[in-house]
Amino acid sequence: MLYQIIQYIKFFLKSTNQHGVHSPFVYNLVTKCFYDNTSYTEYKNIIAYRRSLLKNKSTIAVTDLGVGSSKIKSTARSVSKMAKHAGTPLQRAKLLFRLVHYFNSKHILELGTSLGIASQAMRLGNPKATIISIEGCPNLAAFTKANFLNNIMKPINFMTGDFKDALSNLTNNSFDFIFFDGNHTKTATLNYFNTLLPTIHNDSVFIFDDIYWSKEMTEAWEVIKEHPQVTVTIDTFYWGFVFFRKEQHKEHFKIRV
């Protein structure tokens, strides 16, 4: 926690808003998506789904394949506590919706389904998109899949198992949008990044959750930023955005969201 506080202070001092951005691509993304204040009707669905999870007192035996939750140590976890402490926060779920909507992403991959808060937001962002979501814990995956069916949400291809094994079968795909939200370790994060590089195209975007989770996650983020195929990155503290646009010079931004 102390590490994150120190890093946030450094981030705040170095970050800017749209007025410090000279790239038209990044400026439009910040002003038309990050800072979009539209009250989308889909937000009601996002709020309702998250609220239903917060009220759910049932427990799930969770198997962590990564570093696990920093706030919930028990393997038998209540859905309500996971939604509160480990699920995607409401404002970030809304941002995920806006991002998929803004980019009109048609082929989406999520690493770390959890309770499906982010999955639902991305589905609402583009109801016609093909979405694959991978969860390492079988019990958690089963709960979320059933929950989606009960809420009559449009299908998502839920996969269960170790990310490394699952990704080996996806490298022939092409993805517009990949959300990395699982196994917050340096080695795993870099392995997933390198494994999925063959799936990118010029307009693909990678989003890494919790880039300041730990010192090694920040180290992974710094390595990713310097990769020769990466041209633009945006650090919003909680998330790191990676773009591969060949028409742009290599630039790194720190944006307050």
Residue 147: per-residue pLDDT: 87
DSSP character for 198? G
> pLDDT grade, residue 70 (50/70/90)?
very low
Q: Which residue has the higher pLDDT, 134 or 64?
A: 134
Each residue's pLDDT tens digit, 118-135: 999 999 999 999 999 999
Mean pLDDT (the chain, rounded): 93
| Whether the predicted pLDDT of 72 surpasses 50 | no
Buried b (16+ CB within 10 A) or exposed e, 4-17: beebeeebeeebee
Find the mean pLDDT for residues 108-115.
96
> pLDDT grade, residue 87 (50/70/90)?
confident
What is the phi/psi pair of residue 140, to 5°?
Answer: -70, -40
Alpha carbons 64 and 182: distance in angstroms, whole number: 10
Residue 69: per-residue pLDDT: 45
Which pTM was predicted? 0.93
Each residue's pLDDT tens digit, 152-194: 677 899 999 999 999 999 999 999 999 999 888 999 999 999 9
| Whether the predicted pLDDT of 23 surpasses 80 | yes
- Assigned CATH topology for domain 2-254: Rossmann fold (3.40.50)
The domain locations on the chain are: 2-254
Each residue's pLDDT tens digit, 200-250: 999 999 999 999 999 999 999 999 999 999 999 999 999 999 999 999 999
- Residue 255: CB atoms within 10 A of its CB come to 21
Alpha carbons 181 and 207: distance in angstroms, whole number: 9
- Residue 30: CB atoms within 10 A of its CB come to 24
Q: What percent of the chain lies above the pLDDT cut of 90?
A: 84
Residue 73: per-residue pLDDT: 47
Residue 154: per-residue pLDDT: 77
Q: Which stretches of 86-157 are DSSP H helices?
A: 90-103, 117-125, 138-150
